[in-house]
Amino acid sequence: MDALGNDELQTGRSKYDAILDSIRAEIPEQADRLKEEVIHRKCRDAESIKSLFSSIKDECNSSTFPLIFFDGHGDKKQGLRLLSSEYIDWKSFNQYLEDITYAAHGNLTVVASFCNSMSALERPSFGKPLPCPFYYGYSDEVIAGVVRDESQLIIESLIKSGKVDLTDKNIELYSEYDHVISLISVLLAKFLQPQKYADNYPDLSKNKLREIIRDDIGAAFGKTAKLNQIVTKAFDISHVIPEIVENSMHDTERKDLLLKEVQPLLERLKLENK
Q: For 197-253, write each residue's pLDDT tens digit.
A: 556 655 555 566 556 556 655 555 555 556 566 555 656 677 778 888 888 999 999
Mean pLDDT computed over every residue of the chain? 83
Percent of the chain with pLDDT over 90: 44
Structural domain boundaries in the chain: 11-170, 180-272
pLDDT value for 94: 95
How confident is the model at residue 74, as a pLDDT? 95
Please give the model's pTM, rounded to 2 decimal places. Answer: 0.82
pLDDT at 259 over 70: yes
- For the chain, the farthest-separated pair of C-alpha atoms sits apart, in whole angstroms, at 70
Q: Quick one: pLDDT at residue 26?
A: 81
The pLDDT value given to residue 144: 85
Higher pLDDT: 48 or 122? It is 48
Q: What is the pLDDT of residues 79-132, one digit of tens each?
A: 999 999 999 999 999 999 999 999 999 999 999 999 999 999 976 666 689 999
**pLDDT computed for residue 19 by the predictor:** 86
| Residue 194 predicted with pLDDT over 90 | no
Strand 73-75 and strand 79-81: pairing?
antiparallel
Q: Which pLDDT score, from 0 to 100, does residue 191 have?
A: 62
56 pLDDT more than 90: yes
The three-state (H, E, C) secondary structure of the chain, written as one string: CECCCCCCCCHHHHHHHHHHHHHHHHCHHHHHHHHHHCCCCECCCHHHHHHHHHHHHHHCCCCCCCEEEEECEEECCCEEECCCCCEECHHHHHHHHHHHHHHCCCCCEEEEECCCHHHHCCCCCCCCCCCCCEEEECCCCCCHHHHHHHHHHHHHHHHHCCCCCCCCCCCEEEEHHHHHHHHHHHHHHHHHCHHHHHHHCHHHCHHHHHHHHHHHHHHHHCCCCCHHHHHHHHCCHHHHHHHHHHHHCCCCHHHHHHHHHHHHHHHHHHHHCC
Q: Over range 183-193, report the average pLDDT.
A: 69
